[in-house]
């Protein structure tokens, strides 16, 4: 049973509250398992929900983009909602309405802030390490022109709520006699073998060779 209270009223999960969790370590774990998040915001043209690359350092989620990005400009002027979901399986029950999914998800509320130049350069290195640990030591880093054209934003993880479900179906007693297969169809994120570019003449480094077996 979850014993950590929600950080704010708007993060309190009301529908399916038994699957709610608010522990900071779970928030961080769900964020760390993601490469993409979805960010909801609004402007004069209506509501938008845009997928973008993300990474975590400490108790902040980071994103980056062009200085001219409409989304980045709006995110510094209003509260936003960030979501991440990992689908772990389909759960098949005896009743159509009792079918469900196993998943891990997080919603993060708050306002993004821009980071300074020194922080930007440092955290973009952390982003590269998130994508492929060790890669940034082998490639050209961003130059002054590239960094000047880039904005890095971060949002605190302080106001967040998780929902997580695992396990099998929960059938109603009156449906237990139905002769249908029940159980879970698990899903996992599968890494496949690296594919070298045709013009690449460099032997694969360890992080490439270990890509399939990496946790």
Separation of first and last alpha carbons in the chain:
28
- pTM value is 0.92
Judge residue 161's burial from the number of C-beta atoms within 10 Å of its C-beta, 0-12 exposed, 13-18 middle, 19 or more buried: buried
So what's the pLDDT on residue 2? Answer: 61
Q: What ranges do the domains of the chain cover?
A: 9-190
Name residue, tokens 């130059």: 143
In the CATH scheme, what architecture does the domain 9-190 have? Answer: Roll (2.30)
47-97 residue pLDDT tens:
999 999 999 999 999 999 999 999 999 999 999 999 999 999 999 999 999
CB 1 within 8 A of CB 23: no
147-192 residue pLDDT tens:
999 999 999 999 999 999 999 999 999 999 999 999 999 999 999 9
Helices and strands counted in the chain (H then E): 5, 11
Q: Which two tokens stand for residue 186?
A: 């698990």
Q: What average pLDDT does this structure show over 112-118?
A: 95
């Amino acid at each position: 049973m979850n014993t950590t209270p929600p950080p704010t009223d708007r993060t309190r999960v009301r529908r399916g509250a038994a699957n709610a969790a608010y522990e900071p370590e779970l928030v961080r774990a769900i964020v760390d398992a993601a490469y993409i998040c979805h960010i909801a915001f609004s402007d004069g043209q209506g509501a938008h929900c845009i997928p973008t690359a993300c990474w975590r350092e400490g108790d902040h989620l980071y994103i980056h983009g062009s200085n001219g990005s409409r989304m980045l400009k709006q995110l510094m002027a209003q509260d936003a909602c960030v979501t991440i979901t990992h689908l772990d399986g389909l759960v098949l029950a005896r009743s159509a309405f009792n079918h469900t999914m196993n998943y891990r998800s997080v919603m993060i509320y708050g306002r993004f802030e821009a980071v300074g130049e020194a922080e930007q350069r440092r955290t973009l290195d952390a982003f590269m390490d998130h994508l492929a640990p060790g890669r940034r030591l082998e490639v050209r880093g961003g130059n002054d022109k590239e960094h000047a054209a880039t904005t890095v934003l971060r949002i605190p993880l302080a106001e967040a709520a998780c929902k997580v479900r695992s396990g099998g179906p929960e059938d109603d007693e009156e449906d237990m006699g139905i002769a249908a297969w029940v159980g879970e169809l698990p899903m996992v994120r599968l890494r496949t073998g690296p594919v070298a570019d045709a013009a690449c003449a460099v032997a694969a480094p360890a992080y490439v060779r270990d890509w399939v077996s990496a946790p």
